[in-house]
């Protein structure tokens, strides 16, 4: 499981002054200003005119209110707008920036403009302001870029100024990402020698490290230490990482034990419960526990508002268990809901139909979705192409493949066997010009390199295409065994962000 900086305490590390931190929401005037800022949308729209107009109207504004607006904007990843408020606060309102204000502004500059400008900002702040928080932000910048040497140099400087659990967490995660496992034990030893306490993020990172290494003995030891530490407030995420590690190691019963513990903590949590439900559903499916998937889904519906992302999680979980019938029932629930028509929801079911050769059902579902205003995705057309190849409906396969190639972003690589089947069909059909037009489309979209395109064009006329094309697919890094279809599904799952959850925020 990937750990972002926000997931090992960065937001907590970058807190404002004590006064601001105790304000749970902007005061009335600040809240009204935030309501003006919130609907402005994308980062291309500047919010500075709104801030200026507020002042021109003679409205008062305290520093703490601006700090809370920045905090809210950062919470929703509106980093450019947060930076505009931060810079306006110091440049136009002439508020004296605290050490924490400077650290927050440094972090925002790095997110909006990159590490180079963040370095310039850091180098130009007064020496007295280069405190632990500012160095910590710079450390995190280098860690995001996987710049090990620069991060280690900052870490050494922080050894002189004073270190926190957060800084060790950043370095541990960096060493994990760069696979410098030999440095991890030394860093853990340093934490123990200096009395730096482990927090839940430390344990999560270590569990990820040992899961990567399939070291279940160390995973067990970390879980036991985590559970026995009275200073650590556990959450569902640490156990979910342990569960994944045990699943990958083939220890199903141990994984189930971790999932149960994760579920118990999730049910007592007040934050990110939908995300936890979604994750646990998929993990129960991974270990083949359909009853647990359905039980948790019913519980999810009773306790949380359900969004598209959750429907996708349960449908893909059931398809992983090869239960199309139950997935269809869940789809009907979604289809009758009033949620935004996200084509990703039916698309997973369409993919399953195509893999099983149920092309009529796939076509019917696509037609039904389009009647509701849904627009098929690039993945949809590729699923159809692969399905038509399997049932030997090659004219339809060619047409679907062309639409898929046109719809995907340049550089996409299809499954080798599907592409070879299409090329072989065109050759047998005897229409060389159509075949070459097809190859030109693949070249134009970056599916094939120029060299491979030229060789295949030649083979279309005077060679055994199947034997030669398969070798060329390998040479051009096109999928060999149909893994492209599976990767598309992983890509779709990876693209799932907050959909309706972020709509209508004010």
Q: Which residues contact 362 (CB under 8 A, 6 or more apart)?
A: 350, 353, 354, 383, 384, 387
Position 25 scores a pLDDT of: 44
Could you say which architecture CATH assigns to the domain 58-196?
Alpha Horseshoe (1.25)
Position 61 scores a pLDDT of: 81
Q: What is the pLDDT of residues 256-283, one digit of tens each?
A: 999 999 999 999 887 768 899 999 999 9
> Any idea which of 50-64, 240-254, 392-406 has the lowest mean pLDDT?
50-64
> Any idea which of 171-175, 333-337, 370-374, 497-501 has the lowest mean pLDDT?
497-501
Say if CB 283 and CB 266 are below 8 A apart.
no
> Any idea which of 96-105, 234-243, 399-408, 493-502 has the lowest mean pLDDT?
493-502
Mean pLDDT in residue range 471-479: 53
- Three-state SS at 479: strand
Count Cβ atoms below 10 Å from residue 314 Cβ, excluding itself: 27
The H or E element containing residue 56 is helix 48-56
Q: What is the pLDDT of residues 198-243, one digit of tens each?
A: 999 999 999 999 999 999 999 999 999 999 999 888 889 999 999 9
Position 473 scores a pLDDT of: 55
> Quick one: which of 416, 366, 423, 367 has its CA closest to 394?
423
Position 17 scores a pLDDT of: 37
- What six digits make up the tokens of 302? 């009773």
Count Cβ atoms below 10 Å from residue 433 Cβ, excluding itself: 8
- Provide the residue ranges of all domains of the chain, joining segments of one domain with +: 58-196, 198-269, 272-369
Position 20 scores a pLDDT of: 37
How far CA 7 is from CA of 12, 164, 252, 341, in Å, comes to 10, 16, 27, 31
Between these two residues, 297 and 458, which has the higher pLDDT value? 297
Q: What is the pLDDT of residues 86-129, one digit of tens each?
A: 999 988 777 888 899 999 999 999 999 999 999 999 999 988 88
> Any idea which of 153-157, 251-255, 437-441, 485-489 has the lowest mean pLDDT?
485-489
> What's the CA gap between 488 and 383, in Å, rounded?
9
pLDDT of 23 strictly over 60 = no
Position 247 scores a pLDDT of: 96
* Banded model confidence at residue 449, pLDDT cuts 50, 70, 90: confident
pLDDT of 480 strictly over 70 = no
Q: What is the pLDDT of residues 63-92, one digit of tens each?
A: 888 999 999 999 888 999 999 999 999 887
> Any idea which of 318-332, 450-464, 466-480 has the lowest mean pLDDT?
466-480
Q: What is the pLDDT of residues 319-336, one digit of tens each?
A: 999 999 999 999 999 999
* Banded model confidence at residue 467, pLDDT cuts 50, 70, 90: low
Mean pLDDT of the chain: 85
């Amino acid at each position: 499981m990937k750990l972002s900086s926000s997931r090992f305490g960065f937001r907590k590390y970058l807190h404002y002054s004590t006064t601001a931190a105790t304000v749970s929401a902007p005061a009335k005037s600040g809240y009204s200003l935030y309501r003006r800022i919130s609907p402005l949308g994308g980062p291309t729209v500047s919010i500075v005119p709104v801030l200026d107009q507020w002042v021109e109207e003679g409205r008062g504004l305290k520093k703490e209110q601006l700090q809370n607006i920045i905090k809210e904007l950062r919470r929703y990843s509106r980093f450019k707008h947060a930076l505009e408020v931060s810079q306006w606060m110091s440049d136009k309102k002439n508020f004296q920036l605290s050490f924490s204000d400077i650290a927050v502004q440094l972090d925002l500059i790095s997110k909006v403009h990159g590490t180079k400008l963040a370095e310039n900002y850091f180098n130009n702040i007064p020496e007295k302001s280069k405190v632990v928080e500012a160095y910590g932000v710079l450390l995190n910048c280098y860690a995001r870029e996987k710049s090990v040497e620069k991060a280690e140099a900052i870490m050494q400087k922080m050894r002189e100024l004073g270190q926190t659990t957060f800084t060790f967490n950043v370095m541990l995660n960096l060493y994990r990402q760069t696979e410098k496992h030999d440095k991890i034990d030394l860093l853990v030893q340093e934490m123990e020698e200096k009395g730096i306490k482990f927090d839940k993020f430390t344990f999560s990172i270590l569990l990820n490290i040992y899961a990567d290494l399939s070291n279940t003995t160390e995973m067990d030891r970390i879980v036991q230490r985590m559970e026995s530490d009275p200073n650590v407030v556990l959450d569902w995420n640490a156990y979910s990482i342990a569960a994944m590690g045990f699943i990958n190691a083939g220890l199903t019963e141990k994984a189930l034990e971790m999932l149960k513990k994760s579920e118990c903590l999730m049910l007592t949590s007040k934050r990110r419960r939908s995300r936890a439900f979604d994750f646990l559903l998929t993990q129960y499916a991974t270990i083949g526990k359909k009853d647990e998937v359905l039980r948790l889904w019913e519980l999810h519906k009773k306790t949380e508002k359900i969004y598209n992302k959750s429907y996708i999680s349960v449908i893909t979980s059931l398809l992983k268990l090869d239960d199309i019938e139950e997935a269809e029932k869940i789809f009907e629930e979604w289809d009758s809901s009033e949620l935004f028509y996200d084509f990703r929801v039916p698309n997973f079911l369409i993919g399953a139909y195509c893999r099983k050769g149920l092309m009529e059902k796939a076509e019917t579902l696509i037609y039904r979705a389009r009647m509701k205003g849904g627009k098929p995705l690039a993945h949809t057309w590729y699923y159809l192409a692969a399905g038509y190849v399997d049932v030997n409906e090659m004219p339809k396969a060619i047409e679907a493949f062309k639409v898929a190639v046109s719809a995907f972003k340049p550089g996409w690589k299809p499954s080798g066997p599907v592409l070879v089947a299409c090329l072989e069909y065109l050759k047998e059909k005897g229409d060389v010009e159509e075949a070459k037009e097809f190859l030109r489309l693949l070249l134009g979209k970056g599916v094939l390199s120029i060299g491979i395109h030229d060789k295949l064009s030649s083979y279309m006329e005077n060679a055994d295409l199947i034997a030669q094309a398969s070798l060329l697919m390998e040479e051009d890094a096109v999928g060999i065994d149909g893994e492209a279809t599976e990767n598309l599904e992983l890509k779709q799952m990876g693209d799932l962000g907050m959909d309706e959850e972020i709509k209508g925020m004010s």
